[in-house]
Amino acid sequence: MGQVASPEVGIGMVGYGMMGKAHSYAYTVAPVMRSLPHRPRLRVISGRDEGKVSQAADAYGFEGWTADWRELIRRSDVDIVDICTPPGTHAEIASAAAAAGKAVICEKPLAVTYGEAASALDAVRKAGVLNAVGFNYRRLPAVSLMKRMVDEGAVGKVRLLRATWLSDEFVDPAIPFDWRFDRSMGGTTIADLGSHLIDMATWLAGGIAEVCGQSETFVRQRSNRAVTVDEASSALVRFESGARGVFEMARTAVRRPCDFTIEINGESGTLAFEYARLNELLYGDNADQPQLYGMRRIRAEHETHPYSRNWWPIGQGVGYGASFVNHLGDLLDRWPDGPWEPDFAQGAAVQAVCEAIERAATERRWVELREVTHRTGGAQAEHS
């Protein structure tokens, strides 16, 4: 007798750009790399440009397409709405999907302001639907191994954390104005790049209590329109635990394509990750013998390491796409009962840190997180 097919879960995707492609890839590959209780079925994808969205539907494997995301949300065969549009549209689409009783997966950042993020969080809580934010880098095997080692005490109590994200996306002053330069649509560089760093930092070291920051926009006009986002920012942070941290995010770093790093210094050890070597983790243990002084390089590909069992034999490595496969695969593993994580509460908590850094840079002072979360109506976000 043939094997009984797994039940299906219907996917409706809003947005067909790079993130739409990445998520579509993940839904296609996840059932190949791991056993899932429900097989994702790509029902419909939406986008404003009919020509481009119809091409994307064919290329990504969707059964159909629409130019109206509201039509997608109304469809009875869509169980999960996956939002891959610019950040300024996230909160509206997520709230509408939740009101229609759909589970919601939203790319990061959850919104462009904490108020919008809190509104989306209110909506999913009121509707009682599963919800998740696309912080996919948590699911890289080396980053997940870093989390496990921190939790198991490999570095002792965390004292310092530093994280950077450098790209050269905005280096050329001739790049024409588009939504990425519009704060109301694309959000700040702090939110776009920094949200990933903040999510991983709070996941690893706990909530953030206070920040200060600085920002700069070097090319202030493009296509005769004012650029309203920062191009480079940095922040000092104080964690609730008493640990200290440093963040830097910039889109003006020449020949830095998409380079991020995370380092944790604890009372008894150090862990460091570099995205350019995404299958490796550096570890230094203060208990090592003096003649072994230095950092050891861990290949995060052994079957005992997070996610590695679902991929290739040790030595073959995984790439960027694997982070989406692991992330969406985890969510599908927990369909329909949940819980899902990181969820909208964690996404809103990250948004609060972003807004605090933005405020600190503007006002040139330290800003406590409660200044953001307590002055804004809506749901109170929880720390990751």
pLDDT of residue 379: 60
User: Residue 250 and residue 197: Cα distance in Å, rounded?
Assistant: 12
- Residue 265: which of 213, 350, 204, 306 has the closest Cα? 204
Percent of the chain residues topping a pLDDT of 70 = 96
Q: What CATH code is carried by the domain that includes residue 223?
A: 3.30.360.10
The residue ranking higher by pLDDT, 373 or 384, is 373
Q: What is the domain-level CATH number for residue 107? A: 3.40.50.720
Q: How many domains does the chain have?
A: 2
Q: At a CB cut-off of 8 Å and minimum separation 6, what does 274 contact?
A: 259, 261, 280, 282
% residues pLDDT > 90 (the chain): 96
pLDDT for position 1? 47
Contact yes or no for 373/352 (Cβ under 8 A): yes
Q: pLDDT of 161-197, one tens digit each?
A: 999 999 999 999 999 999 999 999 999 999 999 999 9
Is residue 6 very low, low, confident or very high in pLDDT (cuts 50, 70, 90)?
confident
What's the pLDDT score for residue 380? Answer: 59
> Is the confidence at residue 322, as pLDDT, over 90?
yes
Same domain, 116 and 158: no
For residue 384, pLDDT beyond 50: no
Q: What is the mean pLDDT of the chain?
A: 96
Per-residue pLDDT tens for 255-304? 999 999 999 999 999 999 999 999 999 999 999 999 999 999 999 999 99
Contact between 219 and 250 under an 8 Å Cβ cutoff? The reply is no
Q: What is the DSSP string of 80-135?
A: EEEE-S-GGGHHHHHHHHHHTT-EEEEPSSS-SSHHHHHHHHHHHHHHT--EEE--
Last residue of a domain, one of 271, 289, 316: 316
pLDDT attached to residue 55: 98
Q: Check whether residue 146 and residue 255 sit in a common domain.
A: yes
Q: Is residue 331 part of a domain?
A: no
Residue 318 has a pLDDT of 93
Q: Say if residue 70's pLDDT is above 70.
A: yes
- Residue 320, pLDDT > 50, answer yes
Domain holding 34, by residue range, is 8-136
Let me know whether 113 and 153 are in one domain: no
Domain check: are 120 and 54 in the same one?
Answer: yes
